[in-house]
Amino acid sequence: MKRFRLYLASVLLMALMVPSILSCTRNSDDDYAEFINTPRGVFSALWTIMDKHYCFFDLKQKELGVDWNAVYNKYSVSISDNMSSRALFEVLCSMIGELRDGHVNLYSQYDMGRNWSWKTDYPDNFSEDLQRAYLGKDYIIAGEDISYRLFTDNIGYLVIKSFLGGVSDSRFNSMFNTLALCNGLIIDVRDNGGGNTLYSDQIASKFTEERVLTGYSCYKNGPGHNDFSDLEENWLEPDRYNLRWVKPVILLTNRGCFSSTNDFVNIMKNLPNVTVLGDSTGGGGGFPFTSELPNGWVVRFSSAPTFDVSKQHIEMGIAPDIRLDMDEDDVKAGIDTYIEYARKLINDQIVNP
């Protein structure tokens, strides 16, 4: 009798375990394929990771004519199993370079593969020497890569070289106190390649009195090129615990404004007291993810796109309110066309309205 109960229990248990066993054995599809460490395996892994997770294929097809399947065919013929590692790296860099996305990089022991044509194919509109000359020697440091000074015509000049470092509220409060009597503020983010959006958001929150809709974000929720989550609204909240700047702001931009600086410009452009002056930004409107290839190389790519208030991509850059190019004669004469134009704008707006 007891043996019978034992058998009965075992049959019952096996019946309970059937779904579990099935769950382990039914995955005959190739959704989760492991790529092998050969040139073709690495190539396939890179192409597939991008195919499943990169978020701008439709945009790149529309703007640049990039067909990712055609890209596979184009570069696949260059792959052979006896090619050198360096040759493979070059082919893979060329492949991902088709996307012309600053957030798409391939990291190897040789180099960081990139395509920076979104910046290098355009005028610099920036001179670091001139910026240094305008800042002078007695500028004040308000944070990592953040400096400012007061111009003689009562205009503040704030340089943010990157958003990599933390933002000190107390130093910003001190800066706003120092510049309190100024007619306006010029914020120079030219050639700022980005950093952390938390810091750029934190700085932007000091320039608004109200809650402002600044754009939308979503993420990929499936492997298809158009598999995206619902758009989430991005709101800028005013910094209620620190001093805020409500006077005119001229934001200087060029093609070197990328990633979180692009986000910063997108946010600031929605504020009524801010005028964006200069060239279009370089873009970089996708939140980057990283992944590994079978040979240990690391690939970085855009995964979660950001949109402006009109639900348009900001990946290809943000147009300024006032388009301006640096004058070469000005540069030779030690004059920064952007800064001088911004000073004139503020003086025209405040001093001589």
Partner 1 sequence: MMKKTIFLTTDSSLCSRILSVLFCLVFLPALVLPAVGQSSAWNLPEHKERINAFSVGLGNTWERETYISELSYSGLTGSLQWDSWKGAVPDGKLGYGRTHASVLFGRPESTVGSRILYASVDYFYSREWSVVHTESSDLLLGPSAMFKLCGLYDMSNSNNTATGDGYLSLGLCVDYIGRFKIREYPLAVQVNMFSPLIGIAPAPNYDQPYWFVYKYNQYASLIHFAWAGNCFALNGQVNVICPVRGGSIRVGYNLDYLGNKLGGHLTRLTDTCFTIGFVHRLTKKNLRQ
The binding site for partner 1 (CB under 8 A) comprises 2-3, 5-6, 9-10, 13-14, 16-17, 19-28, 30-38, 40-41, 44-45, 48-49, 53, 55, 72, 217, 219-223, 227, 229, 232, 287-296, 298, 303-304
* Least separation in angstroms between CB 234 and partner 1: 8
Q: Would you say 29 or 329 has its CB closer to partner 1?
A: 29
Number of neighbours of residue 177 by Cβ within 10 angstroms: 10
Distance CA 136, CA 150 (A): 10
Q: What single DSSP character describes residue 85? A: H
Tell me the CB-side half-sphere exposure of residue 131, using CA atoms within 13 A.
20
* Least separation in angstroms between CB 88 and partner 1: 15
Distance CA 51, CA 330 (A): 46
Q: Would you say 30 or 329 has its CB closer to partner 1?
A: 30
Q: Would you say 209 or 292 has its CB closer to partner 1?
A: 292
Q: Would you say 161 or 300 has its CB closer to partner 1?
A: 300
Tell me the CB-side half-sphere exposure of residue 347, using CA atoms within 13 A.
11
Phi-psi region of 65 (alpha: psi -120 to 50; beta: other; left: phi over 0): left
* Least separation in angstroms between CB 93 and partner 1: 18
* Least separation in angstroms between CB 9 and partner 1: 5
Distance CA 94, CA 113 (A): 8
Q: Are 114 and 94 in contact (CB under 8 A)?
A: no
Q: Give, for 186, the enclosing helix (H) or strand (E).
A: strand 184-188
Q: Would you say 136 or 222 has its CB closer to partner 1?
A: 222
Q: Would you say 102 or 320 has its CB closer to partner 1?
A: 102
* Least separation in angstroms between CB 29 and partner 1: 8
Quote the tokens at residue 37: 């460490």
* Least separation in angstroms between CB 263 and partner 1: 13
